[in-house]
Amino acid sequence: MNFKYLMAVFSLILGVNATATAAGNAADGEAKSAMCAACHMADGNSIVDQFPKLAGQHEQYMVKQLIEFKTMQRKDDTMIGMSAALSEQDMADISAYYAAKVANVGTVDESKVALGKDLYRGGNMNTGVPACMGCHGPTGAGNPTARYPSLGGQHVAYTVKQLNAFRDGTRANDAGSMMRNLAARMTTAEIEAVANYIASLK
């Protein structure tokens, strides 16, 4: 079995998994998202840096996270409560609504962007940290088929919080421990730097 064939099969499997949930209806999602707006804002560009921007995020990624909050595979007291009453169609509709919005660029510490760019684009060969853009793309757009999230413009504080959660194991809903293994090799300075570079992407 050759490499190209294996990659084609793998891509097909990812595609099937990513479309297992019914597609969302953005118009229905607008009304259903009213309860989300207090933290994430109506357009998905949250103004509190502890709450993620949802604007432009991939629908299937958001559905996955909502399901995992509801089933407590991903821990967050607020989101576990918010997701409890949602059906998978509700999740898909809300996600479709936010996916159609446009994320704005984040606020960054310019002194950390250069190191962040190096890590994001080239990784750290000495410590085995791969380039972030391998999964999330050169502009932070992510990969919707593989459910790798869009990162561009995300709040620095939120990205730092998530990378730290992966690093200490308090967030463990990453396939194959991919993010946990990666974050475990990153220093605090590297996490802060890459979060600043991500916030600058659009």
Residue 109 token pair: 């510490």
pLDDT for residue 202: 86
Q: Output the CA–CA distances (angstroms, integers) from residue 50 to 12, 90, 159, 167, 168, in the order listed.
A: 35, 24, 9, 18, 18
CA neighbor of 69 nearest in space, from 89, 85, 50 = 85
Asked whether the beta carbons of 63 and 95 are under 8 A apart, the reply is yes
- Could you please state the CATH topology (level 3) that the domain comprising 24-99 is classified under: Cytochrome Bc1 Complex; Chain D, domain 2 (1.10.760)
Average pLDDT over residues 86-101: 98
Q: Has residue 197 got a pLDDT over 50? A: yes
Spatial separation of the C-alpha atoms in residues 23 and 155, rounded to whole Å: 27
| Range with the poorest average pLDDT among 4-8, 26-30, 57-61, 141-145 | 4-8
Residue with tokens 């998994």: 17
pLDDT, one tens digit per residue, over 138-185 is 999 999 999 999 999 999 999 999 999 999 999 999 999 999 999 999
The CA angle 113-116-118, to the nearest 5 degrees, is 115
Residue 65 token pair: 């996270």
pLDDT for residue 64: 98
CATH number of the structural domain 110-200: 1.10.760.10
Going by pLDDT thresholds of 50, 70 and 90, the confidence category of residue 190 is very high
Q: Has residue 124 got a pLDDT over 90? A: yes
**What is the location of CATH 1.10.760.10 in the chain?**
24-99, 110-200
CA neighbor of 114 nearest in space, from 13, 200, 19, 7 = 200
Asked whether the beta carbons of 16 and 8 are under 8 A apart, the reply is no
> Which DSSP category does 129 fall into?
B
